[in-house]
Amino acid sequence: MLLAQLNSISMRFGAQEVLGGLTFSLSTDTRLALTGANGSGKTTLMRIIAGFAQPDGGNVTIPRGVRISYLPQSGLVHNGRSLWDEAEQAYSRIRELITRHERLGEDLAALTEGAPETDRLLHEFHDIQEHIVDSGYYSREAEIHSVLTGLGFEESQFGDEVSTFSGGWQMRIGLAKVLLERANLLLLDEPTNYLDIEARFWLRDYLCNYDGGYIVVSHDRYFLDETVTEVAELFMGELHTYRGNFTEYQAKREKELEQLLKSYEEQQREIAHIEEFIRRFRYNASKAPMVQSRVKQLEKIRPIEIPESMKQIHFSFPPPPHSGKQVLELTGITRRYGENLVLDGLDLHVERGEKIVIAGKNGAGKTTLLRLIGGHDSGYSGTMKFGSGVRLAYFSQDNIESLDPGRTVMEEVEESAPTSMIPHLRGLLGAFLFRGDAIHKQLGVLSGGEASRVALVKMLLQPANLLILDEPTNHLDMSSKDVLLDALTRFPGTVLFVSHDRYFIRDLATRVVELRRLPGSPPEARNFPGDYDYYLWRTEQEAAAEEGSSGFTATPTVRPAGEPDGNGQSAQEVHEATKKRRSALLRLEREEARLLSAIEASEGKQAALVEKLASPEVYTNGELVKEIQEEIRRCEAERQALTERWESLEAERAEVT
């Protein structure tokens, strides 16, 4: 069933064309991820489809009876009702239909037999009855309960006034209402931003079983892999679609971008060669026709544009001071808030170089633990001992309170930057979505997400050897996450972090500490001496065993590739195997980087020789021509050998993983 038809949709903001004549259709089978660089027009396109914005050109056709529900990425505020009553507002349209249905029943009862309008009223009466039944109105209490608990609300909160909930929970309320509306087409702009891992799992299952179409914008790769069958990318004002999940899209797109970058570099070399010829012979009368020919050739070249978001940015932390092998020792840490026992006798030993993720359900105490370690909460009992030379840096969303609203983004970051990092600040800010004039914006006018990114950049610039990070990937797009992940992976110091991004956790964590509270039991901390895949495998095996003991049969998850099977192995053996595998992967990654650098240098050298060989002056010296040609052959042979070694790394990587 067709849900929407977009015809030649165009949109400009000043001189920038954001949408350049897009035409496509959406149906009940649509399971679409909308992606693109920050500022590419994703939110604009969603708002146009939802009817909240008008395009400069083109139109959107919505068939009669099709309903669209839209979740913006931020800004929702609810007040004046309880949580339950606010969720029930999703059925307000149905209550209007019920009122109309009752009036139709009264009108039909008042008609005399054989009245001409009887058939029309009966038809409308029947249609409305079907709409009411299909809406789930009569089972709404069970549905509201399911959606609210699935998104992380406790039953004890159902009666709470909605204005008492924080911004992130306000967005969850908005998401709950959108889902309960049961629209034909859902438009979800960053629905995972404020969800923990458990709520993301629930939303994944909900969407996979949804009987309408939907478009999702999200920076959670795993979530998209599991919920979409098609990806549409906004790129330079155009929309390019790819069948398959997000990982499949990335593989296809990576090849396309490699070719685009290669074409761009080749074109830049060609342009530079032509411009150099023009510069060299501009005032040589005998070469005037050739110069004029080159000028015309240059004018005919259609420049390949590379958007800012495609330019690779790598960030390295300032060199951290050296610390002892033992970084942190927690013994018997207990924290209460009134009658609420959050941490109970927690023990934790942290060594230099570990990357530890603190996992657990919402409310398990993850943020509390990081605040205690970061020195932002001192109301605990037990002992906390830092190792020698430990220098700590702490990040959370609360860091924005320390920003000076009177400064610009650049001024605030410069104030925290070591002298050696100042030349790199523009690139670093660009990696975290502050590009062009955005670096001169006053901090006082930034959104909460923008201010959070400034606070994160400031923290990254501190020369620390222990990083405490509470949800550092919030408000970052995928390219920014990749920059941060790359820097943290190469960081020689120690990291303790909380994140709801499974891709980020899987690629960074070397150990998992889970905080949990079982019904009727005090909170506890469990140590998993392996990576995140190992943690998921272990916990799912435990869940399967519990179901089996209850008379149910669960399908066990295949254990992580390369992990010990756990049969008779100690936690230390599991840990050592994981460290060995990661060490081998790191060695391969370093060699791959060295080979790629050498290949690039060889290509650059050969390009310079080819350009030199093209110079007319060279051909007056036959020996020089032979020398250059021989050098070019040596470059080709060298590059071939390097490429073969680079390709062989893939086989070695497969053996390790």
* Banded model confidence at residue 539, pLDDT cuts 50, 70, 90: confident
Give the pLDDT of residue 589.
67
User: In Å, how far are 30, 54, 128, 448 from 46, measured between CA atoms?
Assistant: 14, 11, 29, 22
The correct answer on CATH 3.30.2130.10 for the domain covering 1-78+183-244 is no
| 187 pLDDT higher than 90 | yes
Give the pLDDT of residue 571.
46
| Structure confidence by residue, pLDDT tens digits, 392-425 | 999 987 777 788 888 999 998 888 888 878 888 8
Residue identified by tokens 């290509």 is 603
Q: Alpha helix (H) ranges present in 334-395?
A: 366-373
3-state secondary structure of 153: coil
The chain-wide mean pLDDT, for the chain, equals 84
Q: Which of 299, 218, 256 is nearest to 476 (CA)?
A: 218
The phi-psi region of residue 407 (left if phi > 0; otherwise alpha if psi is between -120 and 50; otherwise beta) is: beta
Across the range 112-133, mean pLDDT stands at 83
Give the pLDDT of residue 453.
84
| 254 pLDDT higher than 50 | yes
| 557 pLDDT higher than 60 | no
| 583 pLDDT higher than 70 | no
Across the range 109-126, mean pLDDT stands at 82
Share above pLDDT 90 across residues of the chain, in percent, rounded to a whole number: 34
144 Cβ contact partners less than 8 Å away, ≥ 6 residues apart: 84, 87, 88, 176, 180
Beta bridge partners of 341: 336
| Residue 175, both tokens | 């998401």
Contact 200, 220 (CB under 8 A): yes
565 Cβ contact partners less than 8 Å away, ≥ 6 residues apart: 559
Residue identified by tokens 């019920």 is 98
Give the pLDDT of residue 560.
47
Q: Locate the domains of the chain by residue range.
A: 1-78+183-244, 79-164, 260-311, 326-529, 561-657
3-state secondary structure of 574: helix
Identify the H or E element spanning 511: strand 511-516
Please give the Cα distance from 575 to 571 (Å, whole number): 6
User: In Å, how far are 76, 197, 582 from 169, measured between CA atoms?
Assistant: 10, 15, 37
> Would 1-78+183-244 and 326-529 be classified into the same CATH topology?
yes
| 579 pLDDT higher than 70 | no
Across the range 250-275, mean pLDDT stands at 83
Please give the Cα distance from 597 to 600 (Å, whole number): 5
| Structure confidence by residue, pLDDT tens digits, 298-335 | 888 888 776 655 555 666 777 788 888 999 999 999 99
| Residue 398, both tokens | 């609360």
48-70 burial by CB neighbour count: b if 16+ within 10 A, else e?
bbbeeeebeebebebeeebebbb
pTM, full prediction: 0.67
Q: Name the least confident of 2-11, 326-335, 451-460, 607-616.
A: 607-616
Contact 513, 359 (CB under 8 A): yes
Across the range 474-486, mean pLDDT stands at 82
Topology annotation, domain 561-657: Helix Hairpins (1.10.287)
Give the pLDDT of residue 656.
67
Q: Which CATH architecture has domain 326-529?
A: 3-Layer(aba) Sandwich (3.40)
